Amino acid sequence: MAVSRRRFMTSVVSGSALAAVSSSQLLSALNSAARADSPVGDVVGKITVGYQGWFACKGDNAPINGWWHWSDNMAQSPSRSNNTIVAWPDTREYTNTYPTAYANLNNGRPATLFSSYDQQTVDTHFRWMRENNIDTAALQRFNPMGGEGPTRDAMAAKVRTAAEANGRKYYIMYDVTDWTNMQPEIKTDWLTKMKAHTTSPAYAMQNGKPVVGIWGFGFNDPKRPWAPGPCLEVVNWFKDQGCYVMGGVPTHWRRGVEDSRPGFLEVYHAFHMISPWMVGRIGTIADVDHFYANVNLPDQADCDAHGIDYQPCVLPGDVTTRQRRHGDFMWRQFYNMVRVGAQGIYISMFDEYNEGNQIAKTAETLADVPADSGMLALDEDGTACSADYYLRLTGDGGRMLKGQIALTATRPTPPTIGGGDTTNLARGKAVTASSHNQTFVPQNAVDGDPNTYWESANNAFPQWLRVDLGAAASVGRVVLKLPPQAAWQARTQTLSVQGSTNGSSFTTLAASAGHSFDPASGNTVTITFPAASTRYVQLTFTGNTGWTAAQLGELEVYGSVAGGDTQAPSTPGNLTVTGKTATSVSLSWSASTDNVGVTGYQVRRGGTVVATVQGTTHTVTGLSPATAYAFTVTAHDAASNVSPPSNTANVTTDTAPNTNLARGKAVTASSHNQTFVPQNAVDGDPNSYWESANNAFPQWIQVDLGSAASVGRVMLKLPPQAAWQARTQTLSVQGSTNGSSFTTLSGSAGRSFDPGSGNTVTITFSETSTRYVRVNVTGNTGWPAAQLSEFEVYQA
C-alpha cells in the first residue's frame, strides 16, 4: 500500500514553529495585492472534497484482487489485528458489502465493508454529495504505472459515471508520493489516459480550463525527493497543456520551513491555486484560531499579491482522538476560512476512514462498530450524531462560503436530523405489554433506571412491549438496555421494531434481527432506521439466548416533535416503471398531499433509500443487468413526518447490451505490413484490415479495453468481399489485467474464415475479468501473414 500524505503526520505546531508575522508586513502584503479575482467556477467559490475511492474487497472483481486499503495484508480479510482504518463506515445504503474477520457489530449484525470498485458505491457517494450541495470531487490518483494502475483507471471511469449522473463536478488530482519516475510518467498518464476525461460535461473547469491537481511538491520528506526544477517544469507543462493547475502544498509553503523544503517558493507561486495541507497540524479549536491568525491570514495576503486562488483545507477531525467536538471543531474552520476571504475550500477528506477524517457516513454509536475493534463512533463525546452529520455540516459550510447564509461563528447544523433527538421521548410514558412475569412489569422499561426491568411470561414467544409517546413524533432511533451488571451474561434477543399512529395498525420500522446485549459494552443496543412519524413504538420479541422470555431494562425512543405538525403526507400513489435499461430503472408516481406541504420524496430499493427528490419522477442508476429489483416511494414534509410506503414496483433490468468493447480502443501488434496498421482492426470498418509482416509467424495483435471488463466472446472478421477466398488461420486468445502477464482464454485452433458466411469467426469462452485481449496467430492458409479486419470483444 502506498504511503501517502495520510501517513505524513506532524505534531501540532508549537509556539516556536511559526515566525511572527508583523502587522506592518501583513498590511503591506494586503495593500500590494495584485490578484485579479478568478470568477466563480467549479473550484473557485465552491466546496471541493478529496475523494480517495481506494477501497477494494476480495470478490469485488477489482483487478487489484485484495482488501485494498482495508487491511495491512490485503491478501487477508481485515480484522482487529490486520487493518488500516480507525473509523467504521455506516454501510446501510450499499447494495453490496463484503464479510470481514472482525467480530460482529455490537448490535449483533455482521461486520461487512463496502468496495469502491462497485459502481453503486461510487453512485451512493456522489448522491450524498448532491443531497448535501457538495460541488466538486478531487479524485486522488497515485502512481498508476504499477499494479494499482488498472484499478485506479477503472475508478476514474466510475467517478465520471457517478458525477455525470448526479450533476457533480470532478477532476484528477495526482498524488506524487513514492512516484520515483514522476516527471515523465505523469505527463504520459495525462496524455494517454486522464486527459480523455476532460471531454465529460462533469469534468471541473475553472477560468475556462480543465482543472488538474498535483499534491506533494516541496514536502520535506524522502517520499517526495525532487528539487524545485523538475517540479516547476511539471507545473508549467500542465499550464502549457491549457490546464488550471491546483497545488496541494505543505502547511508552511510560504516560509519554506518545517514541512516545506526551502527554495520552492517559485514552484508554489506557479500554481493557479494553492491548498496547504492541514491534517496533523490542528486538533483543537485553539489550534484552529492560532493558525488563522499566524498562517491563514498571511497565506491569503501572499496569494492575493501573486494572483493565486487560495483554497485552504477544512477537516472534520479524527474520530479516534476525539477531535470533532460534535462538529464545533470543523465549523470553526469554516468560519475562519470564510472570514479570511478564501477563494474556495478543500475538505480533507470525503472517504478517509484510514485517518478518521472522513465526512462520509460513519457509525453513529458503539452499537454500529465491531465489538472487538476498539473504534469509536460519532457519539464519542456523548452527543448523538446522525451518520450523515458531517455531510450536512459541509453543505452548510458551503452555503456560508457562497453567501447563502450569513457569516457566523455559531454552528447552524444540528447533529441529528430534527435537531432535538437527544431527549428520550419514551421516559415516563404509558406502556403496555403482551404479558409480564411476577413484579417485572412493563413500567420498569420506561422509568429511567436500567437496573429495573420488564420480563414477559416465560416459554411463550412471541412477546411485545409498546410505549405510547402521547403524540406523533418523527422517530429514527431506539436504544434498548438490560441491567448493566456483569451478573447479566451476554445474550442475543431476536426482535423487530414497529410504529403506529393509531395503536392498532403497525408498520415495520426495523426488521427482525438478532441483537447482542453484552455487559462489556454496557448491555446496550442501538437500532436506527429512516425517520418515521409515529406515536406508538412497539418491540416484538421472538427469541432470547439468555432466558426463556423477553427482557428489557430500558426502552428509549429518540426523535423530534416538530412544531406541532404531526400529520404525515398521504401515501404516494400509482408507482409505475416508465422505462428501464440494463443498468437503470425510471419511475413515476402520483403526488402526495399534506396539511402543510410535501417537501420531497424518498425512493427506496428494498429498504434502502437510493434517492431523495422533490418531483414525482426519478431514474435509479448503477443497477446490475438482468437483475430483479423492488422499489417503493415515501413522501415527507418539513416536520420530518413520513408517509406510508407506496405500492411496490417490481422490475427486472435488461440484459447487458451487445457492445463491442474494443472499438476505437488503443491497439498494438507484433508488426504490420505497409499501411495495414493494427488500428484498422478496431475502426469499425471490416473493409480496412491489419496485416502482419509476411513469412514471420507467430504474430499477435492486442487491444487495451481501457479498464478491466468481464469478457466472454471475441468476434474476428476479414473483409467480406468474395475476392477474399476462404482460409483458415490458426490462432489463440489470451487475456491480461496488466499487459504483461497473459493467461489463455481460448486455446490455439484452426479458425475458418469463409466469405460465404461473412468471413467472420466467433470464439466464446468462460467470462473472465481482463483489460488486455490478445490474439496470437501461428498460421494462415490464405496468405503468409496474420490478417484481421475487425477484432471485436464482447462480455458474452
Tell the residue number behind the cell numbers 528539487, with chain if given.
227
Q: For residues 72-87, give the mean pLDDT.
A: 95
Lowest-confidence pick of 139-143, 191-195, 658-662, 684-688: 658-662
Task: Count the Cβ atoms, other than its own, within 10 Å of residue 58.
Answer: 19
Tell me the C-alpha distance between 82 and 106, whole Å.
Answer: 19
Is the predicted pLDDT of residue 621 greater than 60, yes or no? Answer: yes
Count of H-run helices and E-run strands, the chain: 10, 35
C-alpha cell belonging to residue 715: 468476434
What residues contact residue 464 under an 8 Å CB cut-off, 6+ apart? 433, 434, 538, 539, 540, 541, 550
Tell me the C-alpha distance between 372 and 658, whole Å.
Answer: 47
- Using CA atoms, how far residue 109 sits from 202, 356, 364, 523, in Å, is 38, 22, 15, 15
pLDDT, one tens digit per residue, over 396-414 is 999 899 988 888 898 988 8
Q: For residues 184-197, give the mean pLDDT.
A: 97
Q: For residues 443-458, give the mean pLDDT.
A: 91
Question: Any idea what DSSP says for residue 296?
Answer: I
In degrees and rounded to multiples of 5, residue 198 shows phi and psi of -70, -10
Q: For residues 434-460, give the mean pLDDT.
A: 93
**What share of the chain has pLDDT > 90, as a percent?**
72
128, 390 in Cβ contact below 8 A? no
690, 740 in Cβ contact below 8 A? no
Q: How far is CA 439 from the centre of its chain?
A: 51
Of the pLDDT bands very low, low, confident and very high (cuts 50, 70, 90), residue 6 is very low
What average pLDDT does the structure give for the chain?
A: 89
Is the predicted pLDDT of residue 423 greater than 90, yes or no? Answer: no
At 523 the pLDDT is 84
Q: What angle do helix axes 297-305 and 23-31 make, rounded to 10 degrees?
A: 30
**Among 658, 688, 659, 686, CA closest to 672:** 688
H-helix or E-strand spanning residue 268: helix 265-270
Burial class (CB in 10 A: 0-12, 13-18, 19+), 9: exposed
At 695 the pLDDT is 96
553, 523 in Cβ contact below 8 A? yes
pLDDT, one tens digit per residue, over 726-761 is 999 999 999 999 999 999 999 999 999 999 888 999
Is the predicted pLDDT of residue 2 greater than 50, yes or no? Answer: no
DSSP reduced 3-state for 179? coil
Burial class (CB in 10 A: 0-12, 13-18, 19+), 61: middle
Is the predicted pLDDT of residue 465 greater than 60, yes or no? Answer: yes
Of the pLDDT bands very low, low, confident and very high (cuts 50, 70, 90), residue 473 is confident
Is the predicted pLDDT of residue 18 greater than 60, yes or no? Answer: no
Q: How far is CA 609 from the centre of its chain?
A: 16
Lowest-confidence pick of 281-285, 542-546, 720-724: 720-724
689, 777 in Cβ contact below 8 A? no
Tell me the C-alpha distance between 396 and 781, whole Å.
Answer: 71
Map 668-706 to HEC letters: EECCCECCECHHHHHCCCCCCCEECCCCCCCEEEEEEEE
173, 4 in Cβ contact below 8 A? no
**Among 487, 510, 533, CA closest to 107:** 510
H-helix or E-strand spanning residue 338: helix 328-340
Q: How many Cα atoms within 13 Å fall on the side-chain side of residue 582? A: 6
Task: Count the Cβ atoms, other than its own, within 10 Å of residue 198.
Answer: 19
At position 419, the amino acid (one-letter code) is G
At 31 the pLDDT is 37
Tell me the C-alpha distance between 309 and 686, whole Å.
Answer: 52
pLDDT, one tens digit per residue, over 112-170 is 999 999 999 999 999 999 988 899 999 999 999 999 999 999 999 999 999 999 899 99
Q: For residues 422-441, give the mean pLDDT.
A: 88
Tell me the C-alpha distance between 530 and 534, whole Å.
Answer: 12
Q: For residues 624-649, give the mean pLDDT.
A: 82
H-helix or E-strand spanning residue 608: strand 608-613
- Using CA atoms, how far residue 246 sits from 137, 178, 316, 593, in Å, is 13, 20, 22, 48
C-alpha cell belonging to residue 281: 497540524
Tell me the C-alpha distance between 127 and 119, whole Å.
Answer: 12
C-alpha cell belonging to residue 178: 513514492
In degrees and rounded to multiples of 5, residue 620 shows phi and psi of -90, 125
Read off the pTM.
0.55
Tell me the C-alpha distance between 713 and 207, whole Å.
Answer: 45
Lowest-confidence pick of 126-140, 267-281, 387-401, 604-618: 604-618
Tell me the C-alpha distance between 370 and 368, whole Å.
Answer: 7
Tell me the C-alpha distance between 569 and 643, whole Å.
Answer: 5
C-alpha cell belonging to residue 593: 398531499
State the DSSP string of 301-370.
HHHHHTT-EE--EE----TTTT--GGGHHHHHHHHHHHHHT-S-EEES-SS-TTTT---S-B--SGGGSB
H-helix or E-strand spanning residue 228: helix 228-240
Lowest-confidence pick of 366-370, 491-495, 608-612: 608-612
Of the pLDDT bands very low, low, confident and very high (cuts 50, 70, 90), residue 784 is very high
Q: How far is CA 243 from the centre of its chain?
A: 26
At 657 the pLDDT is 64
Tell me the C-alpha distance between 21 and 12, whole Å.
Answer: 19
Tell me the C-alpha distance between 580 and 626, whole Å.
Answer: 11
Bridge partners (DSSP) of residue 313 are 346
Burial class (CB in 10 A: 0-12, 13-18, 19+), 113: buried
Q: For residues 57-83, give the mean pLDDT.
A: 95
Domains by residue range for the chain, with CATH: 5-401 (3.20.20.80), 430-560 (2.60.120.260), 573-652 (2.60.40.10), 666-794 (2.60.120.260)
Phi-psi region for residue 175, left (φ > 0), alpha (ψ -120 to 50) or beta? beta
pLDDT, one tens digit per residue, over 29-39 is 333 334 456 89
644, 632 in Cβ contact below 8 A? no
C-alpha cell belonging to residue 26: 501583513
Question: Any idea what DSSP says for residue 294?
Answer: I
Tell me the C-alpha distance between 665 and 286, whole Å.
Answer: 54
Tell me the C-alpha distance between 153 and 189, whole Å.
Answer: 10
Q: For residues 239-243, give the mean pLDDT.
A: 97
